[in-house]
Structure 1
Amino acid sequence: MRAVFLDADTLGQWQDSEHHKAKVDLSPLVECFDECKLYGLTSPKQRLERCQDAEVIITNKVVIDRELMDQLPNLKAIQLAATGMNNIDLEAAKEKGIQCFNVADYSSFAVAQLTLQFILNFATRANDHFNLTRQGAWQESRMFTLTDFPTMEVADKTLVLIGYGNIAQKVEELAKAFGMRVIIANIPGRPMRDNQVPLNNALPQANFVSIHCPLTKETKELVNKDFIDLMKTGSFIINTARGPIINEQHLADALKSGKLGGAGLDVLSVEPPSTDNPLLQDDVPNTYITPHIAWASHEAKIRLIEGMAENMRGLVE
């Protein structure tokens, strides 16, 4: 079976059978096929040429749409190097009998870990105090300490989770280990579950809100001015899910006005972002943005590769 991996560089450096300088070993996946071509990145214009003879396409962020599928009569399966499947036209794939696979739960701990990192950084202001030390402020302090930023304890603070899949459940477990109170909010338009609280009731209780839901029609720009207005003044928002769930201009306005105390974001609406993204401007305070790294621990990448290989072994057999 012939396969092509369109954007292998999204997993970091990788190794082939001849060169062993890589940090991530793709051989468990590559060995599933008679032939597997690895491309670092693939532009939209390069998709057709590179996929022409493939029976299996492996992709992380390269979009596989109906137009492309129409031109690939040999295509039997698409394997996502991810969990979210919004880069595939699933309806078209189903119509054409093309099997689609993802890997669930490979990065749950890694994403939950960064979520807690954001929460703890807002509590301790460790990053801000670190920067003061690097700038020489502690060295010039008139006493042994320097507490220029207010700190707090997360115990007894309320964390509201938007979404309750594997990642959010791991966040809940870690948050409770720090003594936090956790509320699971219902997303408007979805059935209410026994463990959930209506969103409008949950948000006013939150010291922290953490986003863990998929990007859908229901959740696009779910976090907007109306959403933020329901939150406590000085509370914090964290997003390690998908950037378009947040209206970025509304969030930037809330941070500048002081309505929100801070934002910890691992995702933005366009990635890589443009320099005019409202959240990247110098006048937006207490905003910590990481470049979509939550999923990318070495251990998570190994689980991802093993998960893809398991899917493909089942397909080949």
Structure 2
Amino acid sequence: MSHKIVFLDRETLDANVRKPNFPHDYTEYAQTAPDQIVERLKGATICITNKVPLREATLKQLPGLKLIAVAATGTDVIDKAYTSANGIVVSNIRNYAFNTLPEHVFALLFALRRNLVNYYNSVRQGRWGYANQFCYFDYPIYDIAGSTLGIVGYGALGKEIEKRATALGMKVLINDVTDVPNKVDIPTILREADVITLNLPLTPETKNMIGAKEFASMKKSACIINTARGGIIDEQALADALRNGVIAGAGMDVLTVEPPKNGNILLDPTIPNLIITPHVAWASKEAMQVLADQLVDNIDAFVAGSARNVVAG
């Protein structure tokens, strides 16, 4: 059987995608709008998508589809209830961002704890030239060593973050949906952590799990980092918490709607000590190539009759 493979959003992956090891017809599109999905997937047996959503109304029109190979770990763009009920296998990418995402977390952590952005901007604005001595202390600086990191979500990435935190001399508090050694509850992490990093999927249970009440229970000197999914943090509550000094800072690599074509409350430049990066924590050159190789491995395995990294179907 010759398979028809369609990659709906090839532009999202800056890496070499090798050819699968079976007869196939391959088509790729840089990006795909919602109203183009059905036409482009007509006759396809394998769909590759990163962020193009495939919901029930769309999938009903694609009876030949056998595999959705998601070029990412998160699969919230797929209607998995429908795929499971209709024999469509969904695979995802796992354990590829083991260096890049933890490094991004710590880049944000260092910048926030040492107030690098505020000092950088103030120097550019001429503040140093008006100082009365050789330096100035407009913004508090805190050591990383000896501080407490709360890791919410203790999967592969959470474990890699823990390794780096321990090497830096941090105390680590861990929470996960599963039972793990030395697990502590969320209220304890909120109360005791100097920095909290979120590394868990967006689900109905995790949506807006960090809101005004949670920020109020954190230290005023604490920071929070989200490199997981937008929507886990209540964005309005975060903006308010930063403006009112409820917490000291935040690093966000994700927003509820991406890209934020219609704006986002967190993009207001007057919000203090907020660093936003455009969902690139996963995107080192090395990690993207690991992802691309695993993506094709998943497709090859499915066609060979031994599907791997299956999340539904």
Same-fold status (TM-score > 0.5): yes
Deviation at 1:60, TM superposition (A): 0.3
Distance in 1 between the 2:185 and 2:200 partners?
A: 15
Distance in 2 between the 1:274 and 1:40 partners?
A: 18
Amino acid at match of 1:160: G
- State the Cα deviation string for residues 268-312 of structure 1 (Å, max 9, x = none): 111112555222223311100001010111011100010011111
SS at match of 1:196: coil
Distance in 1 between the 2:121 and 2:191 partners?
A: 32
Does 1:272 pair with 2:263? no
Does 1:248 pair with 2:230? no
Query: Aligned residue for 1:18?
Result: none
Query: Structure 1 vs Structure 2: percent identity of aligned residues?
Result: 37
Q: Which runs of 5+ in 2 are unaligned?
A: 305-313
Determine if contact 2:20/2:299 at 8 Å carries over to the other structure.
no
Distance in 2 between the 1:198 and 1:133 partners?
A: 41
Q: Which runs of 5+ in 1 are unaligned?
A: 13-23
Query: Aligned residue for 1:311?
Result: 298
How many equivalent residue pairs? 302
2:192 to 205, 224, 234: 205
Query: Aligned residue for 1:102?
Result: 92
Does 1:11 pair with 2:13? yes
Distance in 1 between the 2:109 and 2:228 partners?
A: 15
Q: How is 1:70-81 mapped onto 2 (pairs within 5 angstroms)?
A: 70-81=60-71
Query: Aligned residue for 1:170?
Result: 160
- State the Cα deviation string for residues 200-232 of structure 1 (Å, max 9, x = none): 122110111111011111100000112112211
Q: TM-score, normalised by structure 1?
A: 0.90
SS at match of 2:260: coil
Q: Which moved more, 1:31-40 or 1:302-311?
A: 31-40
- State the Cα deviation string for residues 158-200 of structure 1 (Å, max 9, x = none): 11111111111111111111111110125xxx45544311111
Q: Given the superposition, is the C-alpha separation of residues 170 and 33 from structure 1 closer, same or farther in structure 2, using an over 3 Å criterion?
A: farther
Amino acid at match of 1:99: V
Deviation at 1:150, TM superposition (A): 2.2
Amino acid at match of 1:167: L
Deviation at 1:254, TM superposition (A): 0.8
Distance in 1 between the 2:218 and 2:136 partners?
A: 31
Determine if contact 2:21/2:300 at 8 Å carries over to the other structure.
no
Distance in 2 between the 1:41 and 1:30 partners?
A: 21
Amino acid at match of 2:7: F
Q: Which moved more, 1:158-167 or 1:68-77?
A: 68-77
Query: Aligned residue for 1:17?
Result: none
Query: Aligned residue for 1:67?
Result: 57
Q: TM-score, normalised by structure 2?
A: 0.91
Does 1:34 pair with 2:18? no
Amino acid at match of 2:82: A
Q: Which moved more, 1:101-110 or 1:301-310?
A: 101-110
- State the Cα deviation string for residues 110-144 of structure 1 (Å, max 9, x = none): 11111001111112222222223333444565554
Distance in 2 between the 1:257 and 1:132 partners?
A: 21
SS at match of 1:197: coil
Distance in 1 between the 2:132 and 2:228 partners?
A: 43
Determine if contact 2:48/2:70 at 8 Å carries over to the other structure.
yes
Q: Which moved more, 1:306-315 or 1:143-152?
A: 143-152
Deviation at 1:30, TM superposition (A): 5.7
Query: Aligned residue for 2:76?
Result: 86
SS at match of 2:288: helix
Q: Which moved more, 1:293-302 or 1:196-205?
A: 196-205
Query: Aligned residue for 2:245?
Result: 258
Distance in 1 between the 2:271 and 2:216 partners?
A: 18
